[in-house]
Chain A
Amino acid sequence: MTSVLRKDVEAERSLDRSAVSVSGVSKVFGRGSTAVHALDNVSLDVAPGEFVCLVGASGCGKSTMLSLVAGLDEPTAGTIAVAGGANPALMFQEPALFPWLTVGGNVGLPLRLRKVPRQERAARVAELLGTVHLSEFGRRRPHELSGGMRQRVALARTLALDTPVLLMDEPFGALDAMTRDILHDEIERIWRERQLTVLFVTHNVREAARLGDRIVLLSSRPGRVVWERRVDVPRPRRIDSPEIAAIAAEVTDRLRQEVRRHGR
């Protein structure tokens, strides 16, 4: 009991400097000989306002990590602290919109669950839809929109949670390159305007170099933080600029090294 308490105090203290503080976190699925060590003693601090991209080969526990930070799952060991108290907003690879609600209804549901009065809710929903350039689509149903538009609705819905930390699990992975490129500008703008802290999972190293202040590489089975790098390219950035390409190449090399380790 006392040790748990002490750990919490430590986690609190580490929040003085960081918006997300993950320390010594392990996650094991299953038991005995069939147990899978998804994460092994992972520590990661994300500073307030920082944009951190988490990259890694498949099976490195990137998504597990986000689930843990989002509070959808409990770590087997270690502590996680997030600024703002409540569980941070999480955006998935699929839009995960509720098909029975309109676009506006989806965006407003987090507010409804927080018992925000109707009028205030309508104003917030209008504002959020404006933010993602979907003001005219509030009354449509999700299935009437394109994939990119749905993902923007999902983004507006996560913003409605008003958490200072935003977790994104390969949010643009299923979109075409053009749409993704525009959405990169968009998420960058929203991150700046709202002074969010973003923890962004991707397997696309160019995307990581385009968006991140810092790139963190996770190894696979078990997932560990093996390497990280700052991205000092000034913004606005372009995904096809030589600086970004160079950094992406460096990350790719490091990632291949990691993959080769599993070859034997």
Chain B
Amino acid sequence: MAVESTESIPGGSNAGGSNAVESKALEARVVDTGGRQLGSEFSGLDALDLAGRRSGRTRAARLWAGTWPKVLALALVVALWQVVVWSGWRPDYVLPGPRPVFTELGRLSTTSHLWSALGTTMRRALIGFAAAGVIGFLLGVASARIPPLRAAIGSMITALQTMPSIAWFPLAILLFKLSENAIFFVVILGAAPSIANGVMAGVDYVPPLLLRAGRNIGAKGIGLYRFVIAPASLPYIVAGLKQGWAFAWRSLMAGELLVSIANRPSLGFSLEASRQLNDAVGLLAYMIVILILGLLVDNVFGRVDHAVRVRWGITAKR
């Protein structure tokens, strides 16, 4: 198709005067340089270049390859747990085996208590993480644009990240009493620096060549941010969000253990309540819920991260 257009442009309708003579001559040259050949040479070269780039594995094979190590790991952990229980290292009422715990988990999943605890925890996680996201994003953008602010905020972030989030709680409780705000305060302090860091790294590492190319094709001001800088920094921002989530989740769990608010059960609160009631089976069941939730959210971030990296050509498709 492309070959035909090559030949039809110079010849065709352009009749009359010296123009026609010129275009005839041009046509002759174009055909000479291989108008017809060129197209097939290109498609030949492209076919050779692209040969063998696709992986031959089927979707099911890839799914299985991704799943079996996890299944195996889970089986190993449960087996190890059972062995420890069988060894009689601790009595049953302190360290129950997998079977009663999973039975209890099944029972809990039919109660409203578990679901409302789950809801409370997730709501806190989402609100805290969203607030951290907004604050981290604004901080990151501001300090990427304003150099003096950057120097100040940069070292502040490093300092904040070395501070274990649980160490903030006594102060948070003094400031906000035993309230959700104390939890949000620490969750935001834990997550926002990572997110700001991701944004800053993203803006920093936009390849200069892409900036030049963007400016050359006419992107300036806001357009340069929208069409070049923002998409170029997306992989770093996603990585920052992923790390920020990890901090937020840890801070939230610590917070729910320390800041117990009456009449509002959460996962952390239920965990602590089970311990106080010497309910080891319930305690382990809640731990499994927390673990599963953490894994699920982590998996979502992992998928987004991977999708972005594949799309950006940083990582190959799995």
* A residues at B contact (CB < 8 Å): 67, 70, 72, 86-87, 89-90, 92, 94, 96-101, 109-110, 112-114, 130-131, 133-135, 137, 141-146, 148-149, 152, 157-158, 160-161, 178-179, 182, 185-186, 188-189, 192-193, 235-236
CA distance A247 to B248 in the complex (A): 68
Contact A130 B33 (CB under 8 A): no
- B2, A100: Cβ atoms closer than 8 Å: no
Q: How far is the CA of A149 from the CA of B33 in the complex (A)?
A: 20
Contacts of B13 in A (CB 8 A): none
Tell me how far the C-beta of A118 lies from the nearest C-beta in chain B, rounded to whole angstroms: 16
Q: Which residue of A is nearest B53, CB measured? A: A144
Of the listed residues B1, B29, B214, B218, the one surrounded by the most CB atoms of chain A closer than 10 A to its CB is B218
Closest to A96 in B: B213
User: Is B223 an interface residue when CB atoms closer than 8 A count as contact?
Assistant: yes
Q: Is the CB of A100 within 8 A of B312?
A: yes
Contact of B209 among A92, A144, A235 (CB under 8 A): A92
Find A192's partner among B29, B34, B215, B234 (CB 8 Å cutoff).
B29
Q: Which residue of A lies closest to B10 (CB)?
A: A193
Contact A161–B217 (Cβ < 8 Å): yes
9 contacts between A and B (CB under 8 A): A90-B216, A113-B223, A113-B227, A135-B1, A146-B45, A146-B50, A149-B49, A182-B42, A192-B30
Distance, CA A133 to CA B45, complexed state (A) = 11
Also in contact, A92 and B212, with CB within 8 A (given A109-B227, A133-B42): yes
Q: Assess whether A113 is in contact with B218, with CB atoms less than 8 Å apart.
A: yes
Separation of A19 and B280 alpha carbons in the complex (Å): 84
- In-complex Cβ contact of B218 among A98, A161, A178, A235 (8 A): A161
A70 touches B38 (CB 8 A): no
The main secondary structure of chain B at its interface with chain A is helix
How many residues on the B side are at the interface (Cβ–Cβ under 8 A)?
Answer: 43
Q: A96-B210, A142-B313, A236-B32 are in contact. Are A182 and B6 (CB under 8 A)?
A: no
Please report the C-alpha to C-alpha distance between residue A101 and residue B210 in the assembled complex, in whole angstroms: 13
Q: Which of B45, B219, B312 contacts A113 (CB 8 A)?
A: B219
Contact of A182 among B9, B32, B38 (CB under 8 A): B38
Collect the chain A residues with CB atoms within 8 Å of residue B314's CB: 99
B5 CB-CB contact with A under 8 Å = yes
- Which B residues are CB-close (under 8 A) to A148? 45-46, 49
A110: chain B residues at CB < 8 Å are: 217-218
Nearest CB to that of A88 among chain B residues? B216
Which 3 residue pairs of A and B lie closest in terms of their CB atoms, listed nearest first? A143-B313, A146-B49, A96-B213
Whether, in the assembled complex, B99 has its beta carbon less than 8 Å from a beta carbon of chain A, the answer is no
- Let me know if A188 and B234 touch, CB within 8 A: no
Cα of A145 to Cα of B210 in the assembled complex, Å: 18
| B217 adjacent to A189 (CB under 8 Å) | no
Contacts of B53 in A (CB 8 A): 144
A223 to B229, CA, bound (A): 33
Query: In the complex, what residues of B have CB within 8 A of residue A101's CB?
Result: 231
- New A-B pairs, 9, CB < 8 Å, besides A96-B210, A99-B313, A131-B5: A86-B218, A98-B213, A100-B232, A110-B218, A113-B218, A113-B219, A130-B2, A133-B43, A193-B30
Given A100, A130, A182, which contacts B234 in the complex, CB threshold below 8 Å?
A100
- Measured in the bound complex, the distance between the Cα atoms of B313 and A97 in whole Å is 11
Bound-state Cα–Cα, A186 to B6, Å: 11
